[in-house]
Amino acid sequence: MDYKVELTPKTILDEKFAKDVKGYNPDEVDAFLDKVIQDYLVFSQYRKESQTFAEGLEKQIQDLQGEKIVLQNEKQTLYGQKRQLEIDNASLHHRLDGIKPGDKPTVENVEYITRVNQLEDFLWSIGYDPRTLKKRS
C-alpha cells in the first residue's frame, strides 16, 4: 500500500481558519478534519501492517533459534562420533604398525584381526577394557 500522508505536525499547528460571524468557517474546519481523519486512517493501516510484519519476524527468529539448538546438538553428536572414529583409527594404526610393505598380509591375518576386533568389541560391551582386562567404572 502507498502511504501518502498530507499533514505534518507543523502544518496542523500552523493551520489558520477564516473567521465568520459565528466563529470559524465550518466548511474549512470540516475539510481540514477530513484530512486529519484520512491521515489517521493511513497511520492506523501502517501500524497494523508493521505489527503483522514484526510478528512474522519474531516467529522467524523463534524458528531459527530452534533450528540453531538442533544444529548445535547435531554438532555435538557429530563431534563425539568424530572423536570416536579418531580413537578407532589410532587403535587400528597401532595394531597394523608392525606390518611392513614387504609383509604380505594374508586372508588369514585379516581374519585374525577381524576376530580380535570382534572380541574387543564384546569386551567393551560387557564393561571390560580389552587393553587391561579390568572392569571399567
Q: What confidence tens digit (pLDDT) does each residue in 13-23 have?
A: 777 777 777 78
| Mean predicted confidence (pLDDT) in 42-56 | 90
∠ Cα 60 65 68 (to 5°): 125
Q: Residue 137's pLDDT band (boundaries 50, 70, 90)?
A: low
pLDDT of residue 1: 58
User: Which of residues 56 and 134 earns the better pLDDT score?
Assistant: 56
In three-state secondary structure terms, 6 is coil
pLDDT of residue 35: 85
CB under 8 Å to 17, separation ≥6 — which residues?
Answer: 24, 25, 28, 29, 32
pLDDT of residue 67: 96
For the entire predicted model, the pTM comes to 0.46
- Can you point out the beta strands (E) in the chain? 19-20, 23-24, 128-129, 134-135
Identify the helix (H) or strand (E) that includes residue 103. none
- Distance set, CA 79 to CA 24, 75, 82 (Å): 79, 6, 5
Residue 94 has, within 13 A of its CA and on its CB side, a CA count of 8
Q: What is the pLDDT of residues 77-133, one digit of tens each?
A: 999 999 999 998 888 888 777 766 666 777 788 888 888 889 888 888 888 887 777
pLDDT of residue 76: 95
Residue 120 has, within 13 A of its CA and on its CB side, a CA count of 14
